[in-house]
Structure 1
Amino acid sequence: MSILQRLEQIKLDMPKLFNTRGKRRQLLQDEMIQWIDSIKRMYINEIDHLDGQIEYKQETINRLSAEIDWGKYLERSKEDISESQAVYAEKQRKARQNGGSNTPDL
């Protein structure tokens, strides 16, 4: 029975509770309390399930963000290497022009 069906059943049984006396009233009351407890458990389970999904999705987002950041780092590293090679080549060119030496000015 779904949550909505149980709530509808409780609404239907509520007037019976007030029109009934004695043991029958206690049985109806106990049954309604059990239904309410059952609804509460279903609600808590659903919330726990949704929390688990949120945590999983957040972990996925964090992992993907880290991968993107790592990719950006690698791209920057490639740019830094290219820049360093260009600077080194320029220093070697200047060294050759200035004295014919193969060692760059550092």
Structure 2
Amino acid sequence: MTSRHFDSVTIETVQGDIANQPDLDAIVNAANAELRIGGGVAGAIHRAAGPGLEQECIPMGPIRPGEAVISSGHSLPNAHVIHCLGPVSGRDKPSDQLLHSC
């Protein structure tokens, strides 16, 4: 685990099953623009959280590269899910700044 402190906020990176992190307030989802269930990490998070997550997220979308929104955790052990849309390399520019925005 790695920790960084920003004023009164501590951010920790943890390796493991993202949908089973009961000691974290929030997890971060590599979301798609529509904030819908997908494959990979986003799909695993949505499946574990249950259908309420997608229902809450749909009205918040679409989001653009570099943007993030926050939702409830639903059936996850976390209070919140932070959904970020990272840039597509070679298409979304400036990709470094967009990724930093997330």
When normalised by structure 1's length, the TM-score is 0.19
Structure with greater helix percent: 1
Structure with greater strand percent: 2
When normalised by structure 2's length, the TM-score is 0.20
Structure having the higher Rg: 1
Structure possessing the higher relative contact order (Cα contacts under 8 Å, 6 or more residues apart): 2
